Amino acid sequence: MLLAVADLIKQVKQDIRCIDAQTAQAERLQNNGLLIDVREPAEHLAKPAFGAINIPRGLLEMKMLELEKDPAKAIYLHCATSARAALGAEQLKRVGYENVTVITCNMDEIQRCCTA
């Protein structure tokens, strides 16, 4: 039986920490966490969040293993709707990252809150 994408996202989010952009920004400033944009490069260029590193979801596990060796490092993922970020967070947890969070706001809110 095939699982609808909306149902898959709902299922994945049950096991992943999800917060709003304002909370993510406050935490990130305190813990020096990484802000990762899992959208495609063209989307990131058209509407970037300040300080975000663009790693498309399809490359996330490989690139993160090159970028960050500390499994306890705070990682905040975002996309346009939180769907790709949730799927990406699930994969990062599978490879051993322990502190992965999904930002659930839309891009306008993420841009507004992630200013430094």
For 63-83, write each residue's pLDDT tens digit.
999 999 999 999 999 999 999
Torsion of CA 100, 102, 103, 106, to 10 degrees: 150
**pLDDT of 104-113, one tens digit each?**
988 888 888 8
40 contacts: CB under 8 Å, gap ≥ 6 = 56
Name all domains of the chain by residue range, CATH numbers in brackets. 5-113 (3.40.250.10)
Q: CA 114, 105, 86 angle in degrees (round to 5)?
A: 105
How many whole angstroms separate alpha carbon 102 and alpha carbon 71? 16
- Please state the length of the chain: 116
- For residue 44, the cross-strand partners are none
